[in-house]
Structure 1
Amino acid sequence: MLASGVRYHGKRSRRPPRATTRAAAPIRRFPAVAMLLRPRLSLLRAVAPHPVSPRASLPVRRTLSAAVGTASAGDAAPPAPAPRAGPKGGRRSAPPRGPSVNPALFFPPGVERDAAVAAEMVIPASNIVVGPYAGDSRVKEAEFVKSSARARDCPKDDRPEFAVLGRSNVGKSSLINALIRRKEAALTSKKPGKTQTINHFLVNKSWYLVDLPGYGFAAASQSAQTDWSSFTKGYFLNRDTLVGVLLLVDASIPPQKIDLDCANWLGRNNIGLTFVFTKCDKSKKGKGGRPEENIKEFQETISSLYPEPPPWIMTSSVTGLGRDGLLLHMSQLRNYWDNEATISS
């Protein structure tokens, strides 16, 4: 749950000084993620870490196939089941899909945790419910603004922003290019660790998409690895305009401990995240099962850490899977952030 007494500070209000120390979270196999989204998103059902020993006490989760259905690359809704034949060869219509409460779903701001949810309200290839703050998610224009070697050098115009983070060579640049529909916006490379600065892209002149350096590239120099700790972590801990982090996970390979470690660090520091599974159109020969199997294994691995499920979505920069759905998810978080900023001003 959200810590009591947390008050959202809008982008035009005076912000109190940040605390110099942070409370340590209890540690299990991997420390549980403290919260899923920033404190300013006060309506979200964020998760505080606590020891949960019996697995039976965790909410029931859908299997991957039940969650994803048959969503297409264009984020179209899964097709309705075909009518079944009656006992005398006649046709009878399939039972209608009524609203249902699914504990595996992620409920955004404005949607009660126990609300009945129809299938049409869930973004395809994800567990994310569409709420009242979802709005126009189209990307009409995007431009590169600035590369910063230090967090304090980032833009200071108080626009909301989403940070894109992931293991080196997970497909960060490809996802950014797909989201804003510019092939060369973010530099893609087959050489891991290419991004070494904090890169801001201004979208629709109203919000930022931020490309951060990848983590976990063993061949990177020691100084480059130190830089990640010094300025990327500094960015997370001091960026008041950060709405959330898109944590990219490679679905073409089995779960990696380094991704879990990163999620745990974000959670311990009260930084919200959405799991974005990349490369869902392929699997790497000799490195594990199909993307669906790898994602299911990842979900099972983290299930003991989450009393409530975090938001997640499947994507592919090749087929376009998940693009529109991810932008819609970002729009409802961003619009809620803007709304709270207006109220607080």
Structure 2
Amino acid sequence: MVLLHLPRSHISLFTHFTLFSKPKLPTNRNPILTSRLFSSPKSTLSVSEPIPVSPLPESHTETLEEFHTQLEIPIEKLFVPPETELSYTESGALSTRILKGSNILLSKYARDAQVTRAEFVKSSVRTEDCPANGLPEFALVGRSNVGKSSLLNSLVRRKKLALTSKKPGKTQCINHFRINDSWYLVDLPGYGYAAAPQELRTDWVKFTKDYFLNRSTLVSVFLLIDASIPAKKIDLEYASWLGQNQIPMTLIFTKCDKRKKKRHGGKRAEENVNDFQELIRGFFQTTPPWIMTSSFTNQGRDEMLLHMAQLRNYWLKH
């Protein structure tokens, strides 16, 4: 595999967040761990309380009951942040908290996760035009109709911070949103929208990839995947490109409250999540972190913020 030349910061982050050694499984413990989508083990870690989740709409309660199933996660497929140790109860159960609806262990760096202020800063068409104050940032990218703007609005509890559109492909720049005056959420152009002019699509790909490879303050790319449908080839190719180029990545599965009709695959969201991970397994030495989300119900919002917090605080320390 040929890897492009990367800035030192990316190589360092890749070492910390992707090439960490797999946790060793004690011989007297069950190798299968369970993470519930809407409940999780209690944690003894001292972390900031997550933002309260809005009440679930009554009309959607029955639809979501089918997601109260268990996800079985082999211990070797957990994402263990740096400086995080697995701890167990006397009965052999894992006591280290797993963020619900994910494979991510909660670390001591998961603090200051609340969003108290969010504001749009600027749009850029070149990496060198992006804000230069050195604040850490997380980039959101995905297919044009994956629900990226809705998810960004859900994260900050603002309906119109990022404008949503019924016409895919509207985002054409690198859009920076400053959070709590201390870090950035970055909205990148969607990919795979066939109706966009070919020349414009080419430009998007060019400056987006340049941003990934040369943005020294990029902590992680959050690659959004529609979990309501089977894996798309273009999403698999995007994930493999990020893996081959050693770009730190978290998979964010969107629309987990939906289930398509049988003619679209008819699978539950967690089945599509598992299928996607199996298809990309060969691109990564260890399993990337992933989170299941829904902008409609706010599922996964707190988990994304806690995950960002622990990556961000570790990045700032090192």
Matches within 5 A, 1:264-343: 264-285=240-261, 286-288=263-265, 289-340=267-318
Alpha carbons 1:110, 1:133 under 8 Å: kept: no
Cα distance in structure 2, aligned partners of 1:40 and 1:120: 26
Q: Does 1:218 align with 2:190?
A: no
Partner of 1:39: 11
Alignment-derived partner of residue 78 in structure 2? 105
Offset, 1:151: 1.6
How many angstroms apart in 2 are the aligned matches of 1:155 and 1:201? 10
- Aligned to 2:220, which of 239, 244, 266? 244
Q: 1:170: which partner in 2?
A: 146
* Aligned with 1:77 (options 18, 27, 40): 40
- Cα RMSD (Å) of the superposition? 2.6
2:133 pairs with 142, 157, 179, which one? Answer: 157
The worse-fitting range, judged by mean Cα deviation, of 246-255 and 277-286 is: 277-286
Read off the aligned partner of 1:284 and give its amino acid letter. K
CA displacement 1:242-263 (0-9 Å, x = unmatched)? 0000000000000111111111
Q: How does 1:12-27 map to 2 (within 5 A)?
A: 24-25=2-3
Distance 1:194 1:129, change over 3 A: same
Classify 1:339/1:143 alpha carbon distance in 2 versus 1 (closer, same or farther; 3 Å). same
Cα gap change, 1:322 to 1:312, in 2 (>3 Å): same
Question: CA 1:280–1:264 in structure 2 vs 1: closer, same or farther (change >3 Å)?
Answer: same
TM-score (norm 2): 0.78
Give the drift of 1:77: 2.5
The answer to whether the 8 Å contact 2:253/2:293 transfers is yes
Contact (CA 8 Å) 2:41, 2:97: kept in 1 or not? Answer: no
Higher relative contact order (CA 8 A, sep 6+): 1
The structure whose residues are more often helix, as a share, is: 2
Does residue 148 (structure 1) correspond to residue 124 (structure 2)? The answer is yes
The structure-2 alpha-carbon separation of the partners of 1:45 and 1:159, relative to structure 1 and needing over 3 Å to count, comes to closer
Q: CA deviation at 1:230?
A: 2.0
Q: Which AA in structure 2 matches 1:295?
A: V
Q: Is the 8 A contact 1:43 1:110 kept in 2?
A: no
| Identical pairs, percent | 55
- Structure 2: unaligned runs, 5 residues or longer: 21-29, 43-72, 89-93
Q: What is the aligned residue count?
A: 269
SS of residue in 1 equivalent to 2:76: coil
How far off is 1:276 after superposition?
Answer: 0.4
Larger mean CA deviation between 39-48 and 213-222 belongs to 39-48
Please say if residues 67 and 127 of structure 1, whose CA atoms lie closer than 8 Å, have aligned partners that are also in contact. Answer: no
CA distance in 2, matches of 1:151, 1:203: 20
The structure with the larger Rg is 1
The verdict on how the C-alpha distance between 1:284 and 1:211 changes in structure 2, with shifts beyond 3 A counting, is same
Question: 3-state SS of the aligned residue for 1:179?
Answer: helix
**How far did residue 312 of structure 1 move?**
0.4
Pairwise CA distance, 1:229? 2.2
Q: Give the C-alpha shift of residue 40 in structure 1.
A: 2.9
Change over 3 Å in CA distance of 1:231–1:129 after alignment to 2: same
SS at match of 1:41: helix
Counterpart amino acid of residue 255 in structure 1: A
Q: Classify 1:236/1:305 alpha carbon distance in 2 versus 1 (closer, same or farther; 3 Å).
A: closer
